[in-house]
Structure 1
Amino acid sequence: MWKRSDHQPKIKAEDGPLVGQFEVLGSVPEPAMPHPLELSEFESFPVFQDIRLHIREVGAQLVKKVNAVFQLDITKNGKTILRWTIDLKNGSGDMYPGPARLPADTVFTIPESVFMELVLGKMNPQKAFLAGKFKVSGKVLLSWKLERVFKDWAKF
């Protein structure tokens, strides 16, 4: 018959690594986000607040039409300065500062100046994307639904 042979030595607690001896691999520090009291210092903050109010009023209708979670990483000089999430997939919709609580369907990385031109209608989103003015990752085709949300907000 076959015998089971256990060749693993017994490990004692004192044989383990010392606390802090190893660092976690693959961990990337989150970019420093401004304190909520500092959000009002950004040019785009009033726009985000207004869009947030609009989503809270008509969010249930938007959830039925859009069914997606968008994350907007607003940059300045190549660094993320603001991060907003537009959740039009769950509940009656929500918009909040910070990263998406659930995985975002589409993530936009966009300079603040370009974002302002887009939401104010001074720049065409498709042309701006094709010109490389901002980046989109995830489900790129959902971005046209966010454009419709911004257009509805502009009428509001």
Structure 2
Amino acid sequence: MWKEKKKVCLQKINTSEEAAVSEFYTTLTSTPKNSSGKMVGLQSDLIFEEIGHRIKEIGSQLVKKVNAVFQWDIMNGGIMVAQWTLDLKSGSGEIYRGASRKPANTVFVLSDHDFMELVLGKIKPQRAFLVGKVKVRGNILLGHKLEMILKDYVKF
């Protein structure tokens, strides 16, 4: 009798483990992917990529006007999930994924959702800063300069 109870108990454990593994696998395989098979990134990734296209067109003009390096730390639940850097200090400018290769003049820390609200104009940058949705390290005045320049040149 003991062996039968043990066998039933082990079957339940194995079934539970199999269900958990199956659920985990389903979650992983159902995560949206792009055509290259990589997992789809954040909404902000699309915006940064678009900025990259614009930088190729007008980057040298922006470098002359801005002369600064900006970094965005995109957070989710207190954990950094992405970093983007906009270098408008050298050459014809560039934007790339990752931490700034040079000291950033201004670093913006915010969630992907809050970044999208800023880009879509649902919240003004000053308001987002005052209510704590955006944290800024470094020269905050350059952030304002960037906002004005991007408003003129980068249309989404």
Q: TM > 0.5 between the two?
A: yes
Residue in 2 aligned with 1:76?
Answer: 76
User: CA–CA distance in 2 between the matches of 1:154 and 1:106?
Assistant: 19
More helix by share: 2
Amino acid aligned to 1:77? G
User: CA–CA distance in 2 between the matches of 1:59 and 1:40?
Assistant: 27
Q: What is the correspondence of 1:108-119 to structure 2 with a 5 Å cutoff?
A: 108-119=108-119
Residue in 2 aligned with 1:145?
Answer: 145
Q: Which secondary structure does the structure 2 equivalent of 1:49 belong to?
A: helix
User: CA–CA distance in 2 between the matches of 1:84 and 1:39?
Assistant: 18
Q: Which secondary structure does the structure 1 equivalent of 2:99 belong to?
A: coil
Identity of aligned residues (%): 52
Closer/same/farther in 2, CA of residues 120 and 130 from structure 1, 3 Å limit? same
Point out where structure 1 has 5 or more consecutive residues left out of the alignment.
1-36
Matched residue count: 120
Q: Would the aligned equivalents of 1:87 and 1:95 in 2 still touch at CA under 8 Å?
A: yes
* Length-normalised TM-score, structure 1: 0.72
Amino acid aligned to 2:144? W
C-alpha RMSD over aligned residues? 1.6
Q: Would the aligned equivalents of 1:51 and 1:153 in 2 still touch at CA under 8 Å?
A: no
Amino acid aligned to 1:99? A
In the TM superposition, residue 39 of structure 1 has moved relative to its aligned partner by: 6.7
In the TM superposition, residue 154 of structure 1 has moved relative to its aligned partner by: 4.5
Amino acid aligned to 2:100? A
Q: What is the correspondence of 1:5-154 to structure 2 with a 5 Å cutoff?
A: 38=38, 40-154=40-154
Structure 1 segments, 4+ long, off by >6 Å, are none
Q: Which secondary structure does the structure 2 equivalent of 1:44 belong to?
A: helix
Point out where structure 2 has 5 or more consecutive residues left out of the alignment.
1-36
In the TM superposition, residue 112 of structure 1 has moved relative to its aligned partner by: 0.7
